[in-house]
Amino acid sequence: MREQLEYAPVRAALAAMSSLPRPAARQVGAAIATGFYYGHRRLIRVGRRNLELAFPEREPAERERILRALYGHLGRQMAEFCLFPRNRAAALPALMRTVGLEHYLAARDRGRGVLVLTAHLGAWELSSFGHSLAGYPMKFIVRPLDNGRINALVNRYRGLHGNQPIDKFDSARGLLRAMAAGETVGVLLDQNSSPPQGVFVPFFGRPACTAAGPAKIAVRTGASVVPGFTVWEAAEQRYVLYFEPALELIQTGDEARDVAANTAAYTAVIERWVRRYPEQWLWVHRRWKTRPAGEAALY
């Protein structure tokens, strides 16, 4: 009964939003997200603390501007997700374009599988969806939602053009199978982890516990790791999916050291993109929650 009570309004909201023209849907999404900005104070406190940790040199007013802008951006993403069923390949160029597709294709053609390194930056849901709509379906690691019916609905939207989820709790086996088959998997590598699954690497000058699984898979299989981020470009009034060349794999024969070094390299790429588009990163997640032994909590 509880699942149904939670599922019905979510399904109704998706249907209502999907019936709106895209500009109107974005406005509604932004209004809803702004309500969260004013109403969910705990998340706001986390966002302010993260911005203070990442940008201590910036004025408080500037950090607050970034946080407010993030909520408008999240509202736009909510609208885009609701509109997934209406998107068609012919209309994709007006919604988003891709830069550096040749880097992805070169990595794919090596035949050892591709890990697309990304983050909760920009339009991460649209990133994999748009890539599949363009004819390149992929898999992605995701934590299942607690409500099974909502989880199935969300994954149905994500998979309209061939994308498939890999359960976060079975990600090691799922990644190994995908790499052995030469497939592509999107990996969001910007959330807090904990040992032994995570290793501490620098992020904005502070140790951040980061999932080591993707680096371990790359070291063991030789899979290509290609940075890929979809961000909103205001000057173009559309999204752009940027692929960078595959990262050079660090392999010295010492697996533990190699995994840490590669994870640090991946995280450095994410930091570079967050610095470039600070208004589009998910500051309300407690990224530095797990601390090295003996270090005081940051939240």
> Above 60 in pLDDT, residue 99?
yes
pLDDT for 221 beyond 80: yes
Instruction: Please enumerate in sequence order all residues whose Cβ is within 8 A of that of 159, keeping only pairs 6 or more positions apart, or say none.
Output: 165
Residue 4 has pLDDT above 70, yes or no: no
Of 39-43, 67-71, 280-284, which gets the smallest average pLDDT? Answer: 39-43
Q: From 133, 152, 132, 117, select the one nearest 263 (Cα to Cα).
A: 117
The H or E element that residue 49 is part of is helix 41-54
What number of other Cβ atoms are within 10 A of residue 89's Cβ?
A: 12
Confidence of residue 268 (pLDDT cuts 50, 70, 90): very high
The position carrying tokens 């190699």 is 258
Query: Residue range 239-248: average pLDDT?
Result: 98
- Is the Cβ–Cβ distance between 73 and 42 less than 8 Å? no
- pLDDT at residue 5 tops 60: no
* Whether 247 contacts 227, CB under 8 Å: yes
- If one counts every other C-beta atom within 10 angstroms of the C-beta of residue 283, the result is 25
How many Cα atoms within 13 Å fall on the side-chain side of residue 178? 31
Helix (H) or strand (E) holding 164: strand 164-167
Residue 226 pLDDT > 90, yes or no? yes
Identify the three-state secondary structure at position 99. Answer: strand
Model's pTM, two decimal places? 0.95
Q: Is the pLDDT of residue 31 over 70?
A: yes
Over residues 159-199, the pLDDT tens digits come to: 999 999 999 888 899 999 999 999 999 999 999 999 999 99
- Average predicted confidence (pLDDT) for the chain: 95
Give residue 169's pLDDT. Answer: 86
Confidence class of residue 8 from pLDDT cuts 50, 70 and 90?
A: confident
Comparing 146 with 273, the larger pLDDT belongs to: 273
Of 63, 66, 78, whose CA–CA distance to 31 is shortest?
Answer: 78
Query: What percentage of the chain reaches a pLDDT higher than 70?
Result: 98
CA distance 87 to 81: 10
Residue with the two structure tokens 């203070």: 52
260: phi then psi, degrees, rounded to nearest 5? -65, -45
Mean pLDDT, rounded, for 87-99: 95
Answer yes or no: are the C-beta atoms of 113 and 181 closer than 8 Å: yes
pLDDT (mean) for 197-202: 97
Per-residue pLDDT at 246: 98
Distance of alpha carbon 223 from alpha carbon 118, whole angstroms: 16
In three-state secondary structure terms, 203 is: strand
Q: What is the DSSP letter of 299?
A: -
Residue with tokens 């940075």: 227
Q: What gap in Å lies between CA 87 and CA 157, rounded to an integer?
A: 11
